[in-house]
């Protein structure tokens, strides 16, 4: 049943893309992005990890897609990849100093680096804001379903981050 749902969501991504994109040359890249983000979200939701085998090729694919579709934006993509990783790495570093343990997986940092490669550095603040709002919404939904949330409760950030990257890729940012 779960596999069927996964396949249906993957097919739905194509339909959403078809109504959202204005450059047919982006079909292959955007499908690969959407399907990989979907796989990463599913894996993180169920296993609390974002495998390098998917996040790192997604980063490289984002740079390749930018180089092919918008070569004048490649610098923004490279800066986005570096800034995306550095921002979440720094948050994790500060959390470790304050709490003495990890609070954010570096898979999330690698996923945001991939997002920066796909979206450019300018979109990162909006992507993180949207991902945070989606994450809070998921946490509220879990709480409404009866899950006890404490300071020690671990929740995956990857699904929210993946959804935010996808939405910003399709629809852009409010001021961009």
Q: Within a domain: residue 58?
A: yes
Distance CA 87, CA 160 (A): 17
Q: How far apart are the first and last CA of the chain?
A: 40
The structure tokens listed for 100 are 């003495």
Confidence at residue 176, expressed as pLDDT on a 0 to 100 scale: 66
Within-domain flag for 176: no
In a domain, 28, yes or no: yes
At residue 114, the pLDDT reads 98
DSSP class of residue 24? G
What is the number of structural domains in the chain?
1
Q: Which helix (H) or strand (E) holds 86?
A: helix 74-99
Among residues 93, 92, 66, 173, the alpha carbon closest in space to that of 125 is found at: 173
Question: What domain range includes position 53?
Answer: 2-171
What parts of the chain have a pLDDT lower than 70?
A: 1-3, 6, 13-14, 17-22, 24-25, 176
Q: For residue 20, is it within any domain? A: yes
Give the pLDDT of residue 15: 72
Task: Evaluate whether residue 31 is within a structural domain.
Answer: yes
């Amino acid at each position: 049943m779960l596999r069927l749902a996964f396949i249906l969501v993957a097919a739905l991504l194509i339909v959403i893309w078809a109504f959202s994109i204005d450059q047919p040359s982006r079909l292959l890249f955007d499908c690969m992005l959407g399907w990989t983000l979907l796989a990463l979200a599913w894996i993180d939701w169920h296993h609390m990890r974002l495998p390098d085998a998917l996040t790192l090729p997604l980063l490289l694919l984002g740079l390749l897609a930018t180089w092919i579709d918008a070569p004048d934006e490649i610098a923004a993509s490279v800066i986005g990849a570096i800034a995306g990783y550095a921002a979440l790495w720094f948050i994790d570093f500060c959390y470790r100093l304050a709490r003495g343990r990890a609070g954010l997986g570096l898979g999330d940092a690698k996923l945001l680096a991939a997002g920066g490669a796909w979206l450019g550095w300018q979109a990162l603040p909006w992507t993180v804001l949207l991902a945070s709002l989606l994450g809070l919404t998921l946490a509220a939904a879990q709480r409404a379903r009866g899950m006890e949330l404490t300071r020690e409760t671990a929740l995956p950030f990857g699904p929210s981050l993946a959804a935010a990257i996808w939405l910003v890729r399709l629809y852009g940012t409010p001021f961009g």
